[in-house]
Amino acid sequence: MTSARSDPESVSALFGECGALLEGHFLLSSGLHSNRYLQCALVLQYPAKAERLGLSLAALVRGANNSVVVGPALGGIVIAHEVARALGVRAIFTERANGAMTLRRGFRVERGERALVCEDVVTTGGSTKEVMEVVLAAGGVVTSVASIVDRSGGAGRAAFAPVPFRALFEVEAPAYEPPDCPLCRSGTAGPAVKPGSRA
């Protein structure tokens, strides 16, 4: 199995190699605007790199005795699968139906089952909280939350508490409500574009 380095510098370098740290005027899936966007899909398209990130994240949460890893569609599917593979457990994903996060396709979380919720990027933590609520509603136990990137500026840890949150690296990237966005006010950045996975 491929070895993995989990230090922030090596993970950041991996994003740089893949051209996955974008600069511009972006509309995030949270509805916020930012001048930086991390397109994890550009890294995860390479199976060896996805495996490396999965091994690194698994190393952060090993010992929690999880039997399932749950990620949100679409962004969390690949990394949740890689983390589950590294841990030797099941991988499932939630998706939106009529605007609400839910389990479909016959996926189940059993009552009392210990689950890791896994994301690619955490900004506000909103989608991740929805996944946690799906697990809890099924009677599962969320032991921890993990993501490749934490760009929440501490909001993620607060949003998920008391469940621990771990990420491979943190990115300082300001995010603004649309009325407060300096890029919009400047009029020189063009309209915010949405490069993420949520339509």
Delineate the domains of the chain, giving CATH numbers in brackets: 8-186 (3.40.50.2020)
Query: Residue 2 above 60 pLDDT?
Result: no
pLDDT tens sequence across 61-94:
988 899 999 999 988 999 999 999 999 999 999 9
Which pLDDT score, from 0 to 100, does residue 10 have?
84
What pTM does this model have? 0.84
Which residue shows structure tokens 């799906």? Answer: 134
Whether residue 32 has pLDDT greater than 90: no
Identify the pLDDT of residue 196: 63
pLDDT band of residue 35 (cuts 50, 70, 90) is: confident
> For the chain, where are the E strands, in sequence order?
21-27, 33-38, 68-72, 90-97, 100-103, 114-122, 141-150, 165-170, 175-176
Question: What pLDDT does residue 5 have?
Answer: 46
**SS3 state of residue 41:** helix
Q: What angle do CA 96, 38, 189 make, to 5 degrees?
A: 100
Task: Answer whether residue 3 shows pLDDT above 50.
Answer: no
- How many whole angstroms separate alpha carbon 151 and alpha carbon 115? 23
Q: What is the mean pLDDT of the chain?
A: 89
| Res 28: pLDDT | 84
Residue 140 is encoded by which pair of tokens? 């599962």
Confidence tier at 172 by pLDDT (50, 70, 90): confident
Give the pLDDT confidence score for residue 7 in this predicted structure. 74
Is residue 197 over pLDDT 60? no
In one-letter notation, the amino acid at residue 3 is S
The C-alpha atoms of residue 191 and residue 180 are separated, in whole angstroms, by: 14
Q: Is the pLDDT reported for residue 4 higher than 60?
A: no
Q: Which tokens sit at 143? A: 């032991």
Determine the average pLDDT of the residues in 30-52: 90
What pLDDT score does 52 carry? 93
pLDDT digits (tens, 9 = 90+) for 137-170: 999 999 999 999 998 888 778 889 899 999 998 8
Q: pLDDT for 84-125, tens place per residue? A: 999 999 999 999 999 899 999 999 999 999 999 999 999 888
Evaluated on CA atoms 16, 154, 70, 5, the torsion sign reads positive
Query: How many C-alpha atoms does 43 have within 13 Å on its Cβ side?
Result: 28
Between strands 114-122 and 68-72, the pairing is parallel
Judge whether 95 and 101 are in contact, CB under 8 Å. Answer: yes
Sign of CA dihedral 6, 124, 39, 179: negative
